[in-house]
Amino acid sequence: MIGGGPAGLTCARVLQGHGIEVTVYDADEAVDSRDPGGTLDLHADSGQIALEDAGLLDAFLARARPEGQAKTRRDHHGTVLAEFTPDPGDEAAPEIDRGRLRRMLFDHLRPGTVRWGHRLVRVNPLGDGGHLLEFADGTTVPADLVIGADGAWSKVRPLVSDAAPRHLGVCFLDARFDEVDSRHPEVAAIVGAGHLFSNDNDGRAVILQRNSDGVVRGYIAFRAAPDWHIAAGVDLTDRESIRAYLVREFGHWSPAMRTLIVRNDGDYVPRSFWALPAPLTWDHVPGVTLIGDAAHLMAPFGGHGANLAMLDGAELAHAVSRAVGPDPAATLDEAVGRYESAMFARSGELAVSSNDALVQFFATTDEPDLPPDHEQEHRDYLARAEAYRRERARGRGERAEA
């Protein structure tokens, strides 16, 4: 397994539940050696199914924040356009900090499963489906199945596809507010218990998320090329240089909304939105496959990326177990090929809709981009979860009869 994010760790946990040996290689020095990012909502019809397969759904719910499902949409003057507050007991898509999720998954793997500090350089085919992994420290490792869970810039993907991520025309600056309730009460009041989405219908937006431990993380986003700072004369290492640029760009926003842009604690972290061509498919290559962003990198609108990644991991683990168990129902490559076909069908349409939603949110328009009906969205998550379980049980019953 290349990559120790939620997809790779979920897959490893489910594989171990089937009694299958797996080693995870990750470039990070430790599970918590870098900032993992903000918060995730895990959907009942995908991420939660994967955690249930991993035996970790209760552990997740004990750490999750159902109240974090709340959402507010405002315009750039601060006017509330729409609000959603989850009902008591609503666990259709609770929030969890990325770092807490990664730590939970890691802590439930067998000791020694993850080899930290291993940055993959290349994968060399050996013939007959085998591959040799080469790492930056000179280590080489042979493998009979290589799973690329290594994200947007996957080193494994070129073995199955020449597809590369394309920039979606939007960049953003990751910012944070610490001890928000006491030090930034105005920010806490605007964000509430969950998420704030705000845009000006002309390519600029602020998206803020309540995290655990009194933290709010924010994304100040705008249409731009990846090298926008060069033409703008902005020094990305200089907080005040960035703030001066944002004051100009967001000068037509109300004073209260500009507070969300220039009062953050710490430095801004520049990022940008990229996506793979969607829907992306490939012909199966013996001995290698992909899960998560390595397979279907998409815009974050809709929150499908991490959820699909974890479900990919669980479903691939089940597929592998049907090929290497005491009574195999298929060869390893047949099983992996079937996983890929199902993954393509599961992720393709969602990738297209997520990318389209981002473009629409940042479009110049006279019509406000109103959010979906979140109450209906949550009912749909639960209904699809039940349908997914029924279909899975039917498939297992057919295999048992065969």
pLDDT for res 147? 98
Closest CA to 50 of 16, 104, 2, 13: 13
Q: What is the DSSP track for 53-111?
A: HTT-HHHHHHH-BGGGG-EEEEETT--EEEEE-PPTT--SS-EEEHHHHHHHHHHTSPT
Q: What is the pLDDT of residue 127?
A: 86
pLDDT at 401: 61
Q: Tokens standing for 312?
A: 């990919």
- Measured N-to-C along each axis, helices 98-107 and 6-17 cross at an angle, to the nearest 10 degrees, of 20
Specify the pLDDT at position 37.
86
Tell me what pLDDT residue 35 has: 87
Annotated binding site for NADPH: 34
Number of H helices, E strands in the chain: 13, 16
- Binding-site residue ranges: 34, 41, 98, 293
DSSP state of 202: B
What is the model's pTM? 0.95
List residues forming the annotated binding site for FAD.
41, 98, 293
The per-residue pLDDT for 367 is 82
Task: Give DSSP secondary structure letters for 121-154.
Answer: EEEEEEETTEEEEEETTS-EEEES-EEE---TT-
Q: Which two tokens stand for residue 244?
A: 């001066």
Q: Residue 397: what pLDDT?
A: 67
Q: pLDDT digit of tens for each residue in the chain (402 aa)?
A: 999 999 999 999 999 999 999 999 999 999 999 988 899 999 999 999 999 999 999 999 999 999 999 999 999 999 999 999 999 999 999 999 999 999 999 999 999 999 999 999 999 999 889 999 999 999 999 999 999 999 999 999 999 999 999 999 999 999 999 999 999 999 999 999 999 999 999 999 999 999 999 999 989 999 999 999 999 999 999 999 999 999 999 999 999 999 999 999 989 999 999 999 999 999 999 999 999 999 999 999 999 999 999 999 999 999 999 998 777 878 999 999 999 999 999 999 999 999 999 999 999 998 877 888 999 999 999 999 999 999 988 877 666 665
Identify the bridge partners of residue 222 per DSSP, sorted by sequence position: 171, 204
Alpha carbons 114 and 39: distance in angstroms, whole number? 23
pLDDT at 324: 87
Which residues neighbour 254 within 8 Å (Cβ) at sequence distance 6 or greater?
76, 77, 78
Q: Based on the number of CB atoms within 10 Å of its own CB, is 52 exposed (0-12), middle (13-18) or buried (19 or more)?
A: middle
